[in-house]
């Protein structure tokens, strides 16, 4: 078996054609993103690992990676609050480090990268939904210095749109799922609060508004959520009056 340091990159045209043939109906967004990362790794020179960063309102997450090197260096940047992949996601600029040992833009990040064996890198910005402060980056970490030339940079930028579309769809799906969960929780909260109000109306002959205000006052004085106060009243029949 050939050593991976000497293995030749896969054909970029074939990899891109393979992505173009994929049916989005047959793949989850996670699987599509992983395939983008895996194919990016396969076509880039320099014995690489790849990752995809999602940046939502300046909160970063690595959504997929091809190995521990990429994940570790992404998270190292998150811990420090800066680095090439974060800079690409925040500014929309492609960021290249030709030789990590000589890089001086992020002096508290690059020693860690060198220690882990990353000697050059390329971060491709992903414009997902800038209006909603949702961006990202396709990150390529090479184990050799000066790994990238004009041709490989061009190939990397052609993988960027696939990563951007898949990441955007993943974010939209997660947001919709979270919204649905929040709406369900809100409906459940409203139901239990209405039950509690009904109990107070019957018990103390209050108006609906006065019953709600009483729940709110107990919530504030006890420093508990109004829903929790209502739930306790419904379950136990008890209300800890201020």
Compute the average pLDDT of residues 194-220.
86
Beta-strand runs (E) in 67-193: 95-97, 120-129, 134-142
Whole-number average pLDDT of the chain: 85
pTM reported for the whole predicted model: 0.69
pLDDT the model gives residue 94: 96
239 Cβ neighbours under 8 A, 6+ residues apart: 196, 200, 214, 218, 229, 232, 233
| Residues linked to residue 230 through DSSP beta bridges, in sequence order | none
Rounded to whole angstroms, the Cα distance separating 230 from 102 reads: 62
pLDDT the model gives residue 184: 64
Q: Which residue has the higher pLDDT, 137 or 190?
A: 137
Rg over CA atoms, the chain: 26
Phi-psi sector, 103: left (phi>0), alpha (psi -120 to 50), beta: beta
List, in order of start, the domains of the chain with CATH numbers: 12-177 (3.30.450.40), 179-236 (1.10.10.10)
pLDDT the model gives residue 216: 76
Tokens of 45: 């020179």
Compute the average pLDDT of residues 54-59.
91
Residue for token pair 């209405």: 194
């Amino acid at each position: 078996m050939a050593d991976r340091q000497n293995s030749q990159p896969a054909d970029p045209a074939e990899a891109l054609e393979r992505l173009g043939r994929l049916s989005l109906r047959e793949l989850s967004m996670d699987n599509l993103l992983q395939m983008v990362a895996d194919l990016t790794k396969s076509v880039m020179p320099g014995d690489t690992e790849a990752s995809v960063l999602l940046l939502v309102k300046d909160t970063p997450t690595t959504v997929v990676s091809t190995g521990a090197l990429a994940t570790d260096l992404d998270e190292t940047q998150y811990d420090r609050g800066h680095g090439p992949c974060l800079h690409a996601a925040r500014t929309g600029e492609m960021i290249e480090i030709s030789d990590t040992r000589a890089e001086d833009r992020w002096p508290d990040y690059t020693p860690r990268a060198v220690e882990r064996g990353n000697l050059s890198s390329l971060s491709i910005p992903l414009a997902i939904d800038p209006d909603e402060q949702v961006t990202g980056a396709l990150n390529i970490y090479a184990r050799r210095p000066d790994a990238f030339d004009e041709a490989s940079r061009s190939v990397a930028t052609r993988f960027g749109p696939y990563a951007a579309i898949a990441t955007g769809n993943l974010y939209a799906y997660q947001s919709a799922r979270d919204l649905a969960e929040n709406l369900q929780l809100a409906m459940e909260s409203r139901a239990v609060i209405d039950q509690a109000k009904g109990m107070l109306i019957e018990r103390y002959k209050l108006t609906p508004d006065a019953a709600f205000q009483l729940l709110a006052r107990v919530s504030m004085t006890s420093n508990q959520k109004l829903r929790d106060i209502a739930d306790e009243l419904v379950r136990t029949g008890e209300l800890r009056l201020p």
